Structure 1
Amino acid sequence: MKTALITIAALLASTVVHAEGVPDRIKSAGKVVVANQPNYPPMEYKDPATNTLMGVDIDLGLALAKQLGTNVEWADIGFEQMISSLQTGRVDLIHSGMSDLPKRRDTLDFVDYMKSGAQFYTSASRKEEFKTPADFCGKTVGMSRRTSFPDETAKWSAANCEAKGLAAIKVVGTEGSADARAQLKQGRLDGAVQGSETLPYLMNLEKDTYAIVGEPITAVYQGMAFSKKDPALRDAYAAALKALMASDEYKAIFAKHGLEGTMLDGIYINGEAVK
């Protein structure tokens, strides 16, 4: 691990990225194939009018590829298949709102690029009923089963509901965050959980529909995921990200989407700052 960090630090010493840092297969193909599922605004989604890919991850992914002197081919892959697609070489990396979790680091390396957290919310019509996250104890709360949110919510419930003699949160795994919102509107759920970075966008899109409850219950990094067998591409992306930070292009991308508060102050690999 120490040798790997020294290698990364040496690469990051310059903010100028050269094509020599990109693996030969990428240079030969003239593109990097990136797993992404565009169903998580404002991180990645399709413009309903033009079907054009949009979002933070899209803008950042294109800027990083340009910095590396290559192009992006977006591969629309279901979240459950992303890791296997990376391991089998179908894609070169994952850039799709994926949390950098310790359990994922057994098979993946992450170049982190923003911070996030699991956030409770409810329907605007019930905001007086739910003032704090603890008000969801004993209630039914939905969230995408494909994410880390069900486990995180259950752990939070154990520590903040059951441990205090309150009823546990009834965690419902849904077919994505859109399904959770639909069930919330239908009254089948009392609340829902999704990434804190997505809710301001949704509340602006559907005004007077949702109400955020409390602060995020977790603090995690989101990262681009690479195969552990591909440290060269990981390091090239880390250097490219540092270059974007130095040029303020990184800041401009997040400001465009109103997410300046989620930016990182430097380069992090697998949750650890790289000096």
Structure 2
Amino acid sequence: MNKHFVILAVAGLAATSAIAAELPERVKSAGKVVVANQPNYPPMEYRDPATNELKGVDIDLGVALAKQLGVKVEWSDIGFEQMISSLTTGRVDLIHSGMSDLPKRRDTLDFVDYMKSGAQFYTAAARKDEFKSPADLCGKTVGMSRRTSFPDETAKWSAANCEAAGKPAIKVVGTEGSADARAQLKQGRVDAAVQGSETLPYLMTLEKDTYALVGEPFTAVYQGIGFAKKDSELRDAYAAALKALMDNGEYKKIFAAHGLEGTMLDGIYVNGEAAK
């Protein structure tokens, strides 16, 4: 092996060991992190229909981060609405499942942010000429997962852009999840739907000529890995591991593999603020 690469490899191992040393003792002893994740949000997390294997951006990034820390990942399939309580009661070590870093969640959690996202209106492809801009949705029925921040964000957008302009409000329909919203859209039970902007290009490739975007994302938010407030050691170790993946190019490689280069961050952010 080239001497230069040997030196780089040794340096890389030393850096990994230094980051791993920051882990809490319970994680070092267990040799693993238990991670809350619900694999129903492609391309962030999903199960391959053919193999039942976990796939997605969060899965690839979660494994890469754990490897950087010298531990394994144990994925725990938990309903989105139960994730925060599972974390605060110690059932899991962290949440890595397409969760938005929202101010109201920071009372309970700390976030290491890893990508940009936004709420996006979309409709059935057959109705794309009917809804050419988000304003065309005023007075219409729009479905979205009730477990997310989308209902509140849509109501807020409607107040500012529909009611304030003298138009009828959007009728927000909370669904059992994004898949349920899409099913209701196909059945004609809702006029449009809302989902994270990072997921729609994948779905539109998977189901060609089925959906059409309506305007641009109407919110801007970071997705973050969630940690209990008391678990600052684990949070900081993950921030250091993410920085290492950014520096060595693996972070970019993961996002490029899923066609999501445009959602990458330019540095480390904790609770929405650039880390010092």
Smaller-chain TM-score range?
Answer: over 0.9
Q: Distance in 2 between matches of 1:249 and 1:146?
A: 31
Letter in 2 for 1:158: A
Give deviations 1:207-263, integer Å, cap 9, x for gaps: 000000100000000000000010000000000000000001000000000000000
SS at match of 1:18: helix
Q: Distance in 2 between matches of 1:15 and 1:120?
A: 43
Q: Distance in 1 between matches of 2:74 and 2:82?
A: 17
SS at match of 2:40: coil
TM-score, scaled relative to structure 2:
0.94
Unaligned runs of 5+ in 1: 1-13
Q: CA RMSD in A?
A: 0.9
Q: Tell me what 1:134 maps to.
A: 135
CA contact (8 A) 2:106 2:271 kept: yes
Unaligned runs of 5+ in 2: 1-13
Q: Tell me what 1:10 maps to.
A: none
Q: Tell me what 1:266 maps to.
A: 267
Equivalent residue pairs, number: 262
Q: Tell me what 1:195 maps to.
A: 196
Q: Tell me what 2:79 maps to.
A: 78
CA contact (8 A) 1:21 1:236 kept: yes
Q: Distance in 2 between matches of 1:141 and 1:110?
A: 29
Question: Would you say 1:164 and 2:165 are equivalent positions?
Answer: yes
Report the alpha carbon displacement of residue 19 of structure 1 after superposing the two structures with TM: 1.8
SS at match of 2:21: helix
Q: Tell me what 1:21 maps to.
A: 22
Q: Tell me what 2:147 maps to.
A: 146
CA contact (8 A) 1:38 1:45 kept: yes
Please say which of residues 241-250 and 17-26 is displaced more in the overlay: 17-26
SS at match of 1:21: coil
Report the alpha carbon displacement of residue 15 of structure 1 after superposing the two structures with TM: 6.4
**Runs of 4+ off more than 2 Å:** 14-18
Please say which of residues 65-74 and 19-28 is displaced more in the overlay: 19-28
Q: Distance in 2 between matches of 1:15 and 1:28?
A: 20
CA contact (8 A) 2:114 2:222 kept: yes
TM-score, scaled relative to structure 1:
0.94
Q: Tell me what 2:3 maps to.
A: none
